Amino acid sequence: MIKNLGHRKLSKTGSHRRAMFSNMAASLLLHEKVKTTVPKAKELRRVVEGVVNDAKLGRRLEVRRIIKTKDVYRKVFDVLAPRYKDRNGGCTRILRLGVRKGDAAEVALIKLVD
């Protein structure tokens, strides 16, 4: 019996998926919004909220496994962790924008809440 084990594969290998979400999470945390497809946005939400929660608890190595750039790493601990210290999750919001013209993929804007 095949069971889905909690994440979307998105037609990518595991290493490609990890690298893609690491880059997308860094972009989201740096610019505070990213435009992407809805399934990628839903998976990115899991990654980013995990990073923010690890930063709130001071788990620097766990954050470092996802975030590779130094300026984003500093921003997570200096700006974002204090901003979300009183929230118990839900630091991202997904806004659906409609369909993309080229391939009719549903596009969304994922952004950090203020």
pTM of the entire predicted model: 0.91
C-alpha span between 33 and 103 (Å, rounded):
22
Residue closest to 24 by CA, chosen among 51, 4, 44: 44
14-112: which CATH topology? 50s Ribosomal Protein L17; Chain: A, (3.90.1030)
Domain range summary for the chain, segments of one domain joined by +: 14-112
C-alpha span between 40 and 21 (Å, rounded):
9
Task: Tell me the average pLDDT across 33-40.
Answer: 97
In this prediction, residue 4 has a pLDDT band, given cuts at 50, 70 and 90, of: confident
C-alpha span between 97 and 48 (Å, rounded):
20
Task: Tell me the average pLDDT across 76-104.
Answer: 96
**Per-chain mean pLDDT for the chain:** 95
Q: What is the pLDDT of residue 77?
A: 97
Judged by DSSP in three states, 63 sits in helix
